[in-house]
Chains A and B, each alone.
Chain A
Amino acid sequence: MNLISIKNLTFRYESRDDEDTLKNVSLSVNEGDFLCIVGENGSGKSTLIKCIVGLNKVPEGKITLKEKLGYLPQKTEIQANFPASIEEVVLSGTISNNIKNIWYTKQDKEKAKEIMKELDIYTIRKKCFRDLSGGQQQRVLIARAMCATNNLIVLDEPTNGLDPSIARKIYSTLKTLNKKRNLTIVMVSHDVERAVKYATRVIEIERGKVTFDGLPERYKIV
């Protein structure tokens, strides 16, 4: 089943009027995919993600989502100094499930608890987010993204700025979630080597166009 389908997406930032950032991009994401989107800086891969999650309005083309997604944005400066417990951060992921409610429901809390257990952060849930290592912070943000969805998460460079050994752990955590839960994962990465190793599918974007879409084994050869 197609969880995401994108047809003829063209996108241009108002501030950059010379060239389209994305040109006529069409692709679909299937249930169970562990899809890595690779490409150089400025190729348009983050722009594509922002279109998918709804941060960029889509002027031309069509994006259809079959499932509510969980999003892991790039890190912001604000978070580095933010007083919040792991539990508070993860629980905030459930907001989209019942936006009108004043407080979290019992189901929200159960879901957050179950996901924190699965990601091995339940025992440290009272700890402060800003005191965690970079790798642990990303696990918390993955947990938050999973709280927002049943089986589709979208990540924007989750291993950016992490040590290689910790980046490897994040990839293998994602791989496990993908296999065990059949969690569909779409992630942007500029770490081609690891993307090819862990993903089940690779898409390469160059200058706003899809230049490769297929199995990781094949991408290596190309």
Chain B
Amino acid sequence: MINTIIEMLQYEFIQRAILVGTLVSLCAALLGVSLVLKRYAMIGDGLSHVGFGILAVALAIGWSPLFISIPVVIIAAILLLKIGNNSKIQSDSAIGIIASSSLAIGVAITSATTGINTDVWNYMFGSILAMGESDVILSVIVSIIVGILFLIYYRKLFAVTFDENFAKASGLNVKWYTNIIAILTAVIIVVGMRMMGTMLISSIIIFPALTSMRLFKTFKKVVISSGVISIFSFFIGIYFSYIYNISTGAMIVIVNLVLFIVFILLDQIIYK
């Protein structure tokens, strides 16, 4: 196993993938805690589908997919949050139609132009080969921003997540903090899309938080555990992905699923 790891680390694309993957996994998990607790988890899923639609358009026109996706997905994130706060439209239905429409547009454009080739397949289900120089730079910058904001706003995020009304009455600008979470989530989704695939990226936002909540009973422990679980799943996932030549995104999701089941069982054993 150690020999395999040493062999893996000699490839430049694996080095890139590990750097980007570790950072993205950590950030997605941190944001995920708030999103899952606030019941916004499906927004992540909706946004990744929007991301795919934009990617398809960008590929067809020949523009750089990353830099077009980011602003569009951010706008979609803010819109989805707005819809969520508007009681006239059911937010789960709204996410459903936005997600499937984006996917439909993406698939239609792809089939009319390039067809579902390896590039498109990789965008949908992730690939460690796909990470380029610009992905590395972007993910490092974004991760540093997410990390710093999370630390600076930690206790405010707790207050806003636990009880919006109390936070508002305490003078916190709740809308601003929710928008920050939405924007950061949008950016992380776009950055992580190459590795995880647009169809699978939302799972690294949702799984770590959900898994941690099974066993841990304080906010702080859930946050730390989510980060650890997410990075751990990434490493195990990328290892098996390399050895058995399985799609990276799919492998990482499967590791997350296994951990989730293990934590449910542990919860049953410890607390019952």
Contact = CB atoms under 8 A, between A and B. Distances in A.
B168 A55 contact: yes
Interface string B148-168: 000110111011011111111
B159 A92 contact: yes
Given A76-B163, A82-B162, A144-B166, A88 B171 contact: no
A128 B161 CA distance: 16
A71 B165 CA distance: 9
A131 interface: yes
A55 B163 CA distance: 13
Which applies to chain B's interface (DSSP): helix, strand, loop or mixed?
helix
A83 interface: yes
B272 to A, nearest CB: 13
A53 B217 CA distance: 30
Nearest to B33: A83
A84 B155 contact: no
Nearest to A84: B219
A166 interface: no
Given A83-B216, A102-B152, A128-B217, A95 B165 contact: no
Given A128-B217, A131-B217, A78 B39 contact: yes
B4 interface: no
Nearest to B225: A83
A83 B219 contact: yes
Given A95-B167, A99-B172, A78 B38 contact: yes
A79 interface: yes
Given A83-B218, A95-B167, A88 B38 contact: no
Interface string A67-98: 00101111010110111110011011101100
Given A92-B155, A96-B171, A144-B166, A85 B38 contact: no
Interface centre among A72, A76, A83 (most CB of B within 10 A): A83
A79 to B, nearest CB: 7
B266 interface: no
B159 A95 contact: yes
A59 interface: no
- A-B interface, 4 closest residue pairs, ranked by CB to CB distance from nearest: A128-B217, A96-B170, A73-B165, A71-B169
